[in-house]
Amino acid sequence: MCSPEKICDLQLNLLPDRIKSDRRLKCVRCDGIRGKPALVIRTDDPAMCRFCFVDGCVHKFKSAFGKSQLVPNGSRVAVAFSGGLCSTVMLDLIQRSKVRFNPVVFHLVGTKERELRNSEPIRSTLKDSGLEFHILDSPQNQLLIEFRKQLRFIWAQSKFCMLTEVETLLVRLLLVHCARELGCEFVLFGTCGSYQAVNFLNGLVDGRGSMAASDTMFVDLRSTHPVILRPLFEFMSKELVFYARFQHLNWVTPENPITEAVLRRPGLTTVTRLCQDFLIGLQFNGFPSTTQTILSTASKLAATSVSSSSGTHAQRCHLCLAPIPSPPDVSNPHKLALASLVHSLSLSHESPVDSSINKVLEKEPKQEKAPQFCNACFLLYTDMTAELKPAFRNVVHQLHELRTGQSVE
The full set of domains in the chain, from first to last, is 51-310 (3.40.50.620), 316-409 (no CATH)
Task: Produce one character per residue of 292-324: b if its CB has 16 or more CB atoms within 10 Å, e if not.
Answer: eebbeebbebbeebbeebeeeeeebbbbbbbbb
Spatial distance between the Cα atoms of 103 and 188, rounded to a whole number of angstroms:
9
The pLDDT, as a whole number, for residue 89 is 96
Q: Where are the alpha helices (DSSP H) in 130-182?
A: 139-154, 160-181
The pLDDT, as a whole number, for residue 245 is 94
% helix, strand, coil for the chain, step of 5: 55, 10, 35
**Contact (Cβ atoms closer than 8 angstroms) between residue 144 and residue 171:** yes
pTM: 0.82
Spatial distance between the Cα atoms of 20 and 310, rounded to a whole number of angstroms:
47
**Contact (Cβ atoms closer than 8 angstroms) between residue 39 and residue 242:** yes
Task: Report the SS3 class of residue 213.
Answer: helix
Q: Tell me the three-class secondary structure of 28-49, residue by residue.
A: CCCCCCCCCCCECCCCCCCCEC
**Contact (Cβ atoms closer than 8 angstroms) between residue 315 and residue 324:** yes
The pLDDT, as a whole number, for residue 13 is 47
**Contact (Cβ atoms closer than 8 angstroms) between residue 294 and residue 201:** yes
Task: Report the SS3 class of residue 219.
Answer: strand
State the pairing for strand pair 219-224/227-229. antiparallel
Counting beta carbons within 10 angstroms of the beta carbon of residue 407, is it exposed (0 to 12), middle (13 to 18) or buried (19 or more)? exposed
Task: Report the SS3 class of residue 17.
Answer: helix
* Residue ranges of the chain whose pLDDT lies below 70: 1-23, 110-118, 151-161, 210, 254-263, 267-268, 302-314, 326-370, 406-409
